[in-house]
Amino acid sequence: MKSTMKALVYGGEGKIELKEVPLPKIKKPTDAIIKVTKTTICGTDLGIIKGKVPTVQPGTILGHEGVGVVEEVGGSVRNFKKGDHVIISCITSDGSCEYCKKGMYAHCEDGGWILGNLINGTQAEYVCIPHADNSLHPIPAGADEEALVMLSDILPTGYEIGVLNGNVKPGDTIAIVGSGPIGMSALLTSQFYSPAKIYMIDLDDNRLATAKKFGATEVINSGSENAIQRIMDETKDGVDVAIEAVGLPATFDICQQIVRPGGRVAVVGVHGHSVDLQLQKLWIQNITLTTGLVSTNTTPMLLKNVVSGKLEPKKLITHRFMLDDILLAYDVFGDAGKEKAMKVIIESESVNKLQTATAEKLEEMAV
Amino acid sequence: MKSTMKALVYGGEGKIELKEVPLPKIKKPTDAIIKVTKTTICGTDLGIIKGKVPTVQPGTILGHEGVGVVEEVGGSVRNFKKGDHVIISCITSDGSCEYCKKGMYAHCEDGGWILGNLINGTQAEYVCIPHADNSLHPIPAGADEEALVMLSDILPTGYEIGVLNGNVKPGDTIAIVGSGPIGMSALLTSQFYSPAKIYMIDLDDNRLATAKKFGATEVINSGSENAIQRIMDETKDGVDVAIEAVGLPATFDICQQIVRPGGRVAVVGVHGHSVDLQLQKLWIQNITLTTGLVSTNTTPMLLKNVVSGKLEPKKLITHRFMLDDILLAYDVFGDAGKEKAMKVIIESESVNKLQTATAEKLEEMAV
Amino acid sequence: MKSTMKALVYGGEGKIELKEVPLPKIKKPTDAIIKVTKTTICGTDLGIIKGKVPTVQPGTILGHEGVGVVEEVGGSVRNFKKGDHVIISCITSDGSCEYCKKGMYAHCEDGGWILGNLINGTQAEYVCIPHADNSLHPIPAGADEEALVMLSDILPTGYEIGVLNGNVKPGDTIAIVGSGPIGMSALLTSQFYSPAKIYMIDLDDNRLATAKKFGATEVINSGSENAIQRIMDETKDGVDVAIEAVGLPATFDICQQIVRPGGRVAVVGVHGHSVDLQLQKLWIQNITLTTGLVSTNTTPMLLKNVVSGKLEPKKLITHRFMLDDILLAYDVFGDAGKEKAMKVIIESESVNKLQTATAEKLEEMAV
Amino acid sequence: MKSTMKALVYGGEGKIELKEVPLPKIKKPTDAIIKVTKTTICGTDLGIIKGKVPTVQPGTILGHEGVGVVEEVGGSVRNFKKGDHVIISCITSDGSCEYCKKGMYAHCEDGGWILGNLINGTQAEYVCIPHADNSLHPIPAGADEEALVMLSDILPTGYEIGVLNGNVKPGDTIAIVGSGPIGMSALLTSQFYSPAKIYMIDLDDNRLATAKKFGATEVINSGSENAIQRIMDETKDGVDVAIEAVGLPATFDICQQIVRPGGRVAVVGVHGHSVDLQLQKLWIQNITLTTGLVSTNTTPMLLKNVVSGKLEPKKLITHRFMLDDILLAYDVFGDAGKEKAMKVIIESESVNKLQTATAEKLEEMAV
């Protein structure tokens, strides 16, 4: 192990830099140091760079997703040892506070979403994970680790905050507004519950075509047709569940207008502004609206389904880069529409050089 | 039975009149005619008179609450016969449509809230109740029928839409915003679940004093102190459940600001306007927000508790009037703060003349 | 309409007879007369003939499953009219008693399972259905009515009492003990919830092969290998859900021995004897055990899935007979192992003579 | 701190001895050493002495309940420090295994019920508690610590395994079979949910009289009257919830015979033998039966209610002894009927000598 490493460091609004920084060290007996083999970029990371997440201080290494290999563990870590392959959960949890005892790891009093936010994150060669026993998941031998990067955040988020909060049931008619990575994760995982009809709504025809391949039974480009009108025409009283996966007032509004009496609106999108809730119509409609940050309680179940092949999150990966090219990866992911990008994989150079594209090959890489 | 009866008839915005109208008749084999012995006025009735409920046509008899005696039943009514004493549910339900089969009587495809809205209501000597088998509840011999008027609407509303939707649990800290009849009903019925702490918030010190007698552990006059600040100071992260029982943007806002991560906001108030939902703060908070019209599924359970003395809805009754004096009753109820009114009982003359006050005695009647 | 009809009449233990009986008549305004186009035989009918269901009086027409066409309705039937095609639910419900209001139609105070038990049933040309509004389901135009015979009883039973009571969840490992019609129904409908692994256990290799085709991931012939040992070896601590679909002490015992801590045993089989519950082992295991008669609340949802093609109950049908040949149908169904029979369809002669086999063609008919 | 301590040591079937043993030591960084100030005896301890719990090896210090003061903590214990007053949970949990992540601490893969079973317990001056962060609860300043001994095991057991598994709801009619400490705990905590009627069934009139004081609305001495007959006569179809709190086939049988359709049987008693489950009657009754070992998830909520005075577990304490007199305490608790004993408190000498009775005063001590 060398004494410095490459890492993507936030430099204040609008600034990120790939640079050499000191290696992380074990500070508490519950910490573990992980050699990051693959990471990715989240929509939230783009928000941080735009200055929208004031808790992130300049100097912080970004990233809250990834898989890797345990390099070193603190004295009281029991579940992992050097050499273990692990999924890094985007949520850190101590397992013993009031919220953790309720399974609400998102609100852990000594954790929650801190990675790449309050502490250094995963877009680096190494990362220090607090409360390692509760914040890592073992990877079974032979699993496709690239696919498992999707289990750090987006798949459990789409599933827990979209599908489970939305209480999707067999035979339901559901609508997912937004077909980015989170909407697609909700789409893939909603099918665990066999809804009868899945509407996917977006402005991007390319993404809608992908949604169709991933199991949407109906797709609506809300730029070219009136999504609300069409859904109300085609259903009896609206949808049983509307999943908001964008984070804008306009997409929230679609959801509240298409939900049927007794239905549910599950908000998954990261909202920067308040929305206008039409209580004058909804008070009488027996609606349930939920919000939430993922707790990743379902990661073991999702992992089992990825391993068995029932769930194929790899389908979400459109581009691959070396860590040296991470700024280029940010460009591609930041211009997802034009680049036809969904999720991008960032690999550590030493691990798997040959399979990874360089910038020149960008065009062929696009799905 | 005579051929006309007294009834309070809506005459368009701002107008109500007590007048002689034809007696109701059985139109369908599932109908029943009820002689109304006691009825009451709901906040919604005041809203109708202000023109806020456009579905109510001039000429409609108002009122959706009351108890009475069965006068006549249609050919297929099985559960009731002439002479039976009954509670009239504010919700009419056919028991066989898609919504009824889910127990969502509020959304019955041939019913829901239609009484004193789409069809003639209970503020009259007689009323015709559709789908009588599903829309009436038998009164056990010896029960205090006056108290049971509270079971037509406000008690099940406070309980189902406030307490059950809010999922109040033993040990919870809850807040009820609004101490009118609905808020008080939520207060009384929340105690079925033994919350540890109940905050009651209102602008009226008289009502707050009553709330304290009814079981609130803390009362806050939000006109004279900052309710949000105080609750956030006195609790760890806010309340487990906030029940909105007013129907205004300002009271909704209190609720969304005092609810803790993982908590619930149960909207019971009738909202005339949209509200500003602070999704930019709440998206990360794992909040559940519910709305709803009562289905009255819990009326039998509440009835059992009134009969056993565990629940004393009679405490909500502050004034009593004869049907001849119903306009006066509207005046008193419409100026509830000054009159210290909560729920007013309107009695049919023939039934119980002696116990009922006349207008001259109004002052002494106030609790 | 003629004045008599053919019907299969129970004649006391061991005796059934196909004979001419009077046509049923409307007795209450909530009744409907249905011309039965297709019916089937249930394992429970075999039990009745063996004298195991003492509530069935000699002279009763058997059968509680079927589809047909409405011939006549009583004066207060609102949801159906002459000519409507309907599924007959095995459960009759009035929609207004205490149990119906809780959705527990199985325990309706004026219904429940009475068809072919306390009142005449469906193995006849016509049947009178009480509380028609709640006890029939409309068949959408163009649906395959033969497949829908499976919705009268076995599919909702397998789903409600096996899958829903068992609380099957995505990723679960489940075991179904018994691969007769009910076990197969549980197998088909459990897949709505995407369990990771489904063990099917039976003594009949032919049925196990069918189970494999229907989605079982593992099959065990408990006659030739130790089912308990194998499951405990292949799982961590046992299965999440064990569904008992036979009705014998030995099959119940398998279930209680393979269920993991926190797991569920859903009893669907009709049990004629008590069983030995190993509380000395299970008291510490946080097990939930459920029993139940179907309420058919899920029939509309299942119907939607049959129409959309997601659920194919037709796969369960192995033989077809005319009503004239119903005694032969009983013989075949009663010797299901040898005949490789699962569900047999009995058709009314007038409806669809050509598609139906006669006895001579029995051999070719077997799937 | 001296080098040896007094402890009650199991010596094989029929044998216990109070003797000097070495002090416990921290072995893992997650351990804590607690100075036990008050402990108690559980019915399970009597079972151990009778040789009924084969996992307990001779040489083991008994006891899994108690309160105390933290003497020393391992290097990774974060939630507690020397001097903290704590409740010792009867369940040890690591907070990070598959079962703990589901909140099923009873089945923790590195814990569960091990105290006074697989490892040394609390009937001693000191005890070593593994996974201290998850297995201890802080005692608020000023709380009555004696009452809190009831929170180690019996109150959460009665509540979680009886009341919550039984799903007691407002308005329910429930029956508790057995009025020992566990039955009484179920009785006290069931009242959080306001059941309408609580039957308490036992053979001991003294205990039944106490149950009446604690909130039972009806008591039945099943030795002198037919409990099943009386309950079926007085209720419509039986009770909503039957809680089995003895652990014998006969008491289980009462439960299965008095539960109504759709009702629940919650088994809390420790069963040494299998029972005869009447599936031939129950298969049609939509019954749910549960078993379970406590996970103590509810201890914080119960603690809050003890501190606020809403729950008074001190009422269960009938006798007090010094640790030196623990053999006498076993005699008294072992002959509970004659001694009118419910729960006995064992105090460490140094803490509170004056308040504690000596053997001579036994007679006056009995409630």
Q: How far is B51 from chain A (nearest CA, A)?
A: 15
Question: What pLDDT is attached to residue C38?
Answer: 97
- Token pair, residue C136, equals 């029939």
Percentage, residues of chain D above pLDDT 70: 95
Mean pLDDT for chain A? 93
CB-based burial label for D143 (10 Å; 0-12, 13-18, 19+):
middle
Distance of CA C14 to the CA centre of its chain: 22
D131: closest CA among D31, D36, D64, D34? Answer: D31
Question: Is A196 close to C170, i.e. CB distance below 8 A?
Answer: no
Question: What pLDDT is attached to residue D52?
Answer: 84
Question: Is D262 close to C290, i.e. CB distance below 8 A?
Answer: no
D255-304 pLDDT, tens digit each? 999 999 999 999 999 998 999 999 999 999 999 999 999 999 999 999 99
- Token pair, residue C188, equals 């088909």
B138-188 pLDDT, tens digit each? 999 999 999 999 999 999 999 999 999 999 999 999 999 999 999 999 999
Question: Is D76 close to A76, i.e. CB distance below 8 A?
Answer: yes
C153-173 pLDDT, tens digit each? 999 999 999 999 999 999 999
Q: D302: which chain B residues are within 8 Å (Cβ-Cβ)?
A: 171
pTM above 0.90, yes or no: yes
Question: Is C75 close to B78, i.e. CB distance below 8 A?
Answer: no
Provide mean pLDDT across the span B13-22.
96
Residue D150 pLDDT greater than 50, yes or no: yes
Question: What pLDDT is attached to residue D362?
Answer: 44
Chain A contact present for C194, CB below 8 A: yes
CB-based burial label for C4 (10 Å; 0-12, 13-18, 19+):
exposed
Q: D169: which chain C residues are within 8 Å (Cβ-Cβ)?
A: none
Question: Is D79 close to A95, i.e. CB distance below 8 A?
Answer: no
Angle between helices D205-213 and D181-190 (to 10 degrees): 20
Please report all neighbours of D, defined by 3+ CB atom pairs within 8 A. Answer: A, B, C
B283-302 pLDDT, tens digit each? 999 999 999 999 999 999 99
User: Three-class SS of residue D124?
Assistant: strand
Question: Is D276 close to C277, i.e. CB distance below 8 A?
Answer: yes
Provide mean pLDDT across the span D325-344.
95
In angstroms, the Cα distances linking B161 to B158, B170, B178, B270 are 6, 18, 14, 12
CB atoms within 10 A of CB D221: 15
Q: A217 with A174: CB under 8 angstroms?
A: no
Q: How confident is the model at residue D356 (pLDDT cuts 50, 70, 90)?
A: very low
Provide mean pLDDT across the span D40-59.
94
Q: How confident is the model at residue A182 (pLDDT cuts 50, 70, 90)?
A: very high
In angstroms, the Cα distances linking D360 to D321, D328, D356 are 11, 11, 12
Q: Which of residues 127-186 of C touch B (CB under 8 A)?
A: 133-134
Question: What pLDDT is attached to residue B362?
Answer: 44
User: Three-class SS of residue B147?
Assistant: helix
User: Three-class SS of residue A329?
Assistant: helix
Provide mean pLDDT across the span C61-73.
98
CB-based burial label for A18 (10 Å; 0-12, 13-18, 19+):
middle
Provide mean pLDDT across the span B50-56.
91
Question: Is A103 close to D103, i.e. CB distance below 8 A?
Answer: yes
User: Three-class SS of residue C211?
Assistant: helix
d(CA B35, CA B85): 9
Ordered DSSP codes for D102-122: TT-GGG-TT-BS-BTTTB--S
Q: How confident is the model at residue C93 (pLDDT cuts 50, 70, 90)?
A: very high
Out of D76, D79, D110, name the one closest to residue A30 (CB).
D76
- Token pair, residue A354, equals 């040959």
Question: What pLDDT is attached to residue A52?
Answer: 84
Out of D28, D134, D300, name the one closest to residue A95 (CB).
D134
Q: How confident is the model at residue B52 (pLDDT cuts 50, 70, 90)?
A: confident
A72-92 pLDDT, tens digit each? 999 989 999 999 999 999 999
A347-367 pLDDT, tens digit each? 986 544 434 444 444 444 443
Provide mean pLDDT across the span A171-193.
97
Ordered DSSP codes for A206-275: HHHHHHHHTT-SEEEETTTS-HHHHHHHHSSSSEEEEEE-S-SHHHHHHHHHHEEEEEEEEE-S--SS-E
Q: A241 with A263: CB under 8 angstroms?
A: yes
d(CA A34, CA A70): 5
Question: What pLDDT is attached to residue B349?
Answer: 63
E strands, B233-339, in order:
239-244, 259-267, 275-277, 288-290, 317-322
Ordered DSSP codes for B82-137: TT-EEEEPSSB--S-SHHHHTT-GGG-TT-BS-BTTTB--SSBSEEEESSHHHHEE
In the block, tokens 């009695």 appear at B347
Chain C contact present for D78, CB below 8 A: no
B226-273 pLDDT, tens digit each? 999 999 999 989 999 999 999 999 999 999 999 999 999 999 999 989
d(CA B174, CA B157): 17
ipTM: 0.93
Out of B76, B98, B134, name the one closest to residue C75 (CB).
B76
Q: D267: which chain C residues are within 8 Å (Cβ-Cβ)?
A: 279, 283
- Mutation test of the interface with chain B: which of C26, C86, C91, C96, choosing the one with the most B Cβ atoms within 10 A? C96
Chain C contact present for D105, CB below 8 A: no
Q: Which of residues 85-104 of C touch D (CB under 8 A)?
A: 99, 102, 104
Question: What pLDDT is attached to residue A1?
Answer: 58
Percentage, residues of chain B above pLDDT 90: 90
Q: C6 with C19: CB under 8 angstroms?
A: yes
Q: D76: which chain A residues are within 8 Å (Cβ-Cβ)?
A: 28-30, 74-76
d(CA D270, CA D278): 20
Mean pLDDT for chain C? 93
Q: In what order do the strands lie in the sheet with B288-290?
A: A218-221, A197-202, A173-177, A239-244, A259-267, A288-290, B288-290, B259-267, B239-244, B173-177, B197-202, B218-221
CB-based burial label for C342 (10 Å; 0-12, 13-18, 19+):
buried
Q: How confident is the model at residue D44 (pLDDT cuts 50, 70, 90)?
A: very high
D320: closest CA among D349, D297, D293? Answer: D349
Q: D177 with D256: CB under 8 angstroms?
A: no
- Closest residue in A to C302 (Cα) is A171
Q: C35 with C85: CB under 8 angstroms?
A: no
Q: A293: which chain B residues are within 8 Å (Cβ-Cβ)?
A: 283-286
Chain A contact present for D26, CB below 8 A: no
Q: How far is C69 from chain A (nearest CA, A)?
A: 25
C106-125 pLDDT, tens digit each? 999 999 999 999 999 999 99
D264: closest CA among D290, D245, D246? Answer: D290
Question: What pLDDT is attached to residue A283?
Answer: 93
Q: B300: which chain C residues are within 8 Å (Cβ-Cβ)?
A: 98, 101
Residue D366 pLDDT greater than 80, yes or no: no
Residue C340: CB partners within 8 Å, gap ≥ 6? C206, C318, C366, C367
Chain C contact present for D290, CB below 8 A: yes
Question: What pLDDT is attached to residue D87?
Answer: 98
Angle between helices A249-258 and A227-234 (to 10 degrees): 20
Question: Is D273 close to C280, i.e. CB distance below 8 A?
Answer: yes
Question: What pLDDT is attached to residue C90?
Answer: 98
Residue B22 pLDDT greater than 50, yes or no: yes
Question: Is A96 close to D134, i.e. CB distance below 8 A?
Answer: yes
Question: What pLDDT is attached to residue B348?
Answer: 86
A122-177 pLDDT, tens digit each? 999 999 999 999 999 999 999 999 999 999 999 999 999 999 999 999 999 999 99
Instruction: Note the helical H segments in D278-359.
Output: 279-282, 299-308, 326-334, 336-339
Percentage, residues of chain A above pLDDT 70: 95
CB-based burial label for D310 (10 Å; 0-12, 13-18, 19+):
middle
Q: How confident is the model at residue C1 (pLDDT cuts 50, 70, 90)?
A: low
Tell me how many residue pairs between chain C and chain D have CB atoms under 8 A apart: 114
Chain D contact present for B301, CB below 8 A: yes
- Mutation test of the interface with chain D: which of C64, C243, C283, choosing the one with the most D Cβ atoms within 10 A? C283
Question: What pLDDT is attached to residue B3?
Answer: 86
Question: What pLDDT is attached to residue A3?
Answer: 87
Chain B contact present for D234, CB below 8 A: no
Q: How confident is the model at residue C359 (pLDDT cuts 50, 70, 90)?
A: very low
Mean pLDDT for chain B? 93
